[in-house]
Amino acid sequence: MTQDTALTPDVLLEAQERARELIRCGFQEPDEIAESLVEVLDDQGLTQEEAERIVAPLWTERLAEQAEWPETTDVDRLVDAFDLLEDQAIVAAMDFTCCAGCGYAEIGGEADEDSYGFVFFHQQDTEAAAAGRGLMLRYGGFRTGEEPGEVSERRTVEVGRAVVAALEAVGLPVEWDGSPHTAIRVAPMEWLNRLPE
């Protein structure tokens, strides 16, 4: 595929590879992916218009691939597990913030007064899962009125157990040693996340 562009072949290739990675993650719209490319490569001369031209055929290609996917994918199962957790007053957030530090800092903003705990994976976790390295889930408990100070390890373990049970209930493979200090890993996992409509 050749495109009219002032970009060097190396920059064009880098932009295409990054676009494919973000499309594979499956959470961003085409214009958001183009904006992400510009943020990374604007010093190489990439414009928004060129980025959109790079993304468009790759998006179409992914839509065609989706047509061949099974009716229920591992990501569909993950959505089902997160829905089960939401029903248990556990905030469940996908592709939430850029990294673990931001996720832990901001997850409280997603809670309501009845929320018992949380589970999330961040954008770097999404990219790792889309690259075939399994999905890491971060989790914990929220403070309640009768538990002053830090959240107890007991509550964090309870949330971890609930997360594992929900994942197992939908048929996803789970790795967790039961420690409140260890992330829960979903692997092996085939990351087939349908593009936003």
Residue 191 within a domain: no
Does pLDDT of 139 surpass 60?
Answer: yes
Q: How far apart are CA 6 and CA 11, in angstroms?
A: 10
Q: Residue 145: what pLDDT?
A: 54
Regarding whether 93 and 45 lie in a shared domain, the answer is: no
Q: Residue 7: what pLDDT?
A: 83
Residue 193 within a domain: no
Domain carrying residue 130: 74-186
Regarding whether 136 and 182 lie in a shared domain, the answer is: yes
CB-side neighbour CA atoms (13 Å) of 78? 28
Regarding whether 106 and 26 lie in a shared domain, the answer is: no
At 1, is the pLDDT very low, low, confident or very high (cuts 50, 70, 90)? very low
At 67, is the pLDDT very low, low, confident or very high (cuts 50, 70, 90)? very high
Regarding whether 84 and 48 lie in a shared domain, the answer is: no
Structure tokens at 74: 């591992």
Q: pLDDT tens, 76-126?
A: 999 999 999 999 999 999 999 999 999 999 999 999 989 999 999 999 999
Regarding whether 52 and 110 lie in a shared domain, the answer is: no
